[in-house]
Homo-oligomer: A and B are copies of this chain.
Amino acid sequence: MSISVCIFGTGAIGSFYGAMLHKGGASVSTVQRSDYDHVKKQGIVIESETLAHSFMPKKVYRPEDSPEESFDYLVIATKALMIPDLHEKIRNFVSPKTSLVLIQNGIDVEDQLAPHYPHNELISCLAFICVTKTSPGTVSHMDYGRITLGSYPKGTSTGTETLAELFSKSIQCGISEDIIKDRWIKLIWNAPFNPISALAGGANTLQLLSDKATKELIITVMKEVRSIASKAGVAFPETVIDGNIEATLKMTPYIPSMGVDALEKRGMEVEAILGRPIAIAEELSVPVPAMELLHTLLKQLNSTITEK
């Protein structure tokens, strides 16, 4: 019998990884809100040069439904920390045997779920991907796709390994024995590039790094993240910073997701990327003035664009 998966949060990321799991042989259902009618009729389409895949979900649910079946994995790919009471909203889709699979950016995102589901396994994931939803049920995959899974808070498990094996049939997938550390490593990039792109009107990576003062600001923020992580017990070498800058300069220039959100006037993952790390910095008495100033501006930008 195939592995059963349900996708909660069928934006670009959820739809994409749902399709990859389907391609790998899983039985995939989805929970849809605005796209319910469309996906029920037309399914989900991933447009891509390398990873194109279309599928009809086994079943399409609405968020308020109570499925009779129980799932092996519930993939949660909503925007990080942007749904109040997320744990309540997923409850009908979680049975005692269901592993929760959280694909979100940022720090401490597991706190939304872990305390509320102490008996369910929680698999925490980081996605390295450029995807955009272009119309109902349709996602355009631009680049990358690798996903990293780890059992939360640490180590691995049969559930994690089975899921990693399934992902590996269609896409690059790695297991992390220390997903919290990997979240900090990813934050080194996210904390400067995402907010600064958004504040700078959706500037792309090359535009950001071509300006000397902006590049210095990016490095300042990276150092602040490194200081917090280090005080929190997660050490990385200084070379991580130069390595990140060099790797970014080699990429095809692209607009970080928050920059895209700002351009399209969508809510941004402000708290997962800056708010939580700053709160941890405060607890640990680590000064992070640049992150604090970016946080203030980004919250203000976020409320301006979402209020309109």
Contacts and interface: CB of A to CB of B under 8 A. Distances in A.
A304 B200 contact: yes
Interface stretch (A83-91, A211-219, A224-232): A211-219
Interface in A260-302: 262, 289-290, 292-297, 299-301
B297 A200 contact: yes
Given A201-B304, A207-B303, A293 B296 contact: no
A296 B212 CA distance: 9
Interface majority SS (helix, strand, loop, mixed), chain A: helix
Q: What's the number of copies of this chain in the assembled complex? A: 2
A213 B262 contact: no
A184 B301 CA distance: 27
Interface string A201-215: 111000110010110
B304 A213 contact: no
Nearest to A265: B201
Contacts of A175: none
B293 A207 contact: no
Contact of A305 (B201, B216, B297): B201
Contacts of A292: 213
Interface string A89-125: 0000000000000000000000000000000000000
A224 to B, nearest CB: 12
Nearest to A201: B304
Contacts of A295: 213
A20 interface: no
A212 to B, nearest CB: 9
Contact of A293 (B200, B211, B293, B301): B293
A296 B217 contact: yes
A56 interface: no
A272 B214 CA distance: 19
A245 interface: no
A304 B211 CA distance: 11
A203 B203 CA distance: 19
A48 to B, nearest CB: 26
Contact of A211 (B201, B202, B299): B299
Contacts of A296: 211, 213-214, 216-217
A289 B290 CA distance: 9
A77 interface: no
A292 B290 CA distance: 11
A199 interface: yes
Interface of A: 196, 199-203, 207-208, 211, 213-214, 216-217, 262, 289-290, 292-297, 299-301, 303-305, 307
18 contacts: A196-B300, A199-B297, A199-B300, A199-B301, A200-B301, A201-B301, A201-B304, A203-B300, A203-B301, A203-B303, A203-B304, A207-B304, A207-B307, A208-B300, A213-B295, A216-B296, A217-B293, A293-B293
